[in-house]
Amino acid sequence: MELSMVGVVIVAGLVLAVAAMAAFLRAKAFPKEMDGIPGSLGWPIIGESFSFISEFSSPAGIFSFMNERQKRYGKVFKSYVLGRYMVFTTGREASKILLTGKDGMVSLNLFYTGQKVLGPNSLLQQNGEDHKRLRRLIAEPLSIDGLKKYFQFINNLAIEMFDDWAGRKVLVLEEASTFTLKVIGNMIMSLEPTGEEQEKFRDYFKIISSSFASLPFNIPGTAFYRGMKARDKMFEMLDAIIARRRIGSDLQQDFLGSLIKKHGSDDDEKLTDAQMKDNILTLLIAGHDTTTAALTWLVKFLGENPAALDSLREEHMEIQSKRESGSSLTWSEVNNMPYTAKVVSETLRRATILPWYSRKAAQDFEINGHSIKKGWSVNLDVVSIHHDPQVFVDPHKFDPSRFDDPLRSYSFLGFGSGPRMCPGINLAKLEISIFIHHLVCRYKWKPIEKDDSVQPTLVRMPKNKYPILVEPLH
């Protein structure tokens, strides 16, 4: 629904009011300690926000903004972006400090809209013992052993998806999105891949996901407003499922089932309904966007690098040749794909799906000789780390052999690192490995158009959704 003229006037008035307040707060709250850090705070009120936002859609994404300033100011620089004073930094030393979070030095730093969408009980908004406790509860069903029972569902889903690819144009991003959402929906609440409930679930999720990094105007017609309304609808859906589970009419051994079981316990692991729903939504968003992006970039990079594709196909054809005729991929096979693991790592390095990690200083500390004060927003530039020529020779080349030998610590952050390392790492690797196997064993493909731009979102994805023409391999 488009905004009416009245709505436009209202929004304009609100923007001016917010801008005036921002100007006042900026004058009052200017951190003089930042004088010791090089960089520019940009224009009054807006800072460098326009430059920051405009770079999102460029082929290099937000890295363009960071790289230009690193050349001018060095590895640590300051800026004023989206209403926040920020310090940007990069390098292995900064990575170790910010991602290990030693002694409670930093906490996660979500934008306002992200905080509201995920909810106050989200794992991503917890610190200290609360974070450890929630992460422990979430980690159990996402462990390698916990994923075994979902293997056949994911494998069958991939086979069904690829049955429909032959001889047609495919938007890889859309297909990958549907695949990953069906996987995570089944794992979390045993949603069937088709049906009315699945359709409602997908509709709500897409609206919520698109609002995650929107402007914080919760008024009709805005992405944030639509996202919060869709969140309410999603939670109504979850309330109904939880109610059915509690009266024993819909017992399932899924992620929700494990949380409900904990909810009914008398120990310290007990969860409220609000905690369950916030963290289910957190896992949905975290488990969908990044894996969808990884699958899309993987297809793109393989299509552009035939030598890597040939080596990958050779590994999977060999796996297939040792199998009895008519049988499909097995759990043991999917856990023994050494070259595939290198291809996945190189895809995550080259694409750097999450281009920066944002943290909030919980105490004073130092990075690269610069003093960071409690309360500051500190952002780690991951793209520069992944493209450091001292670690990765010819860093813009797609070369899975880089991972033949172990890398230096904190030089590769494909799944993050430290206590906030991606809890869904095993699920992501499983989905990607199954997807790759059926793709390379059945098809060849070529891109329909050349466009290296990325979507203006926090998670880097090809802007054109990467359209390809698919043909059977034989």
Helices 223-246 and 255-263, axial angle in degrees (round to 10) = 70
Alpha-carbon distance of 335 to 338, in angstroms, equals 9
CB 237 within 8 A of CB 200: yes
CB 156 within 8 A of CB 205: no
441 is in an annotated binding site: no
Burial class of residue 344, CB neighbours in 10 A (0-12, 13-18, 19+): buried
Counting other chains too, the contacts that 190-196 makes at CB distance below 8 Å and 24 or more residues apart are: 190/252, 190/254, 190/256, 193/157, 193/160
Quick count: other Cβ atoms within 10 Å of Cβ 413? Answer: 22
Torsions phi, psi of 122, nearest 5? -60, 145
Task: Please report, in range form, the residues annotated as the binding site.
Answer: 422
Binding site for heme, by residue number, is 422
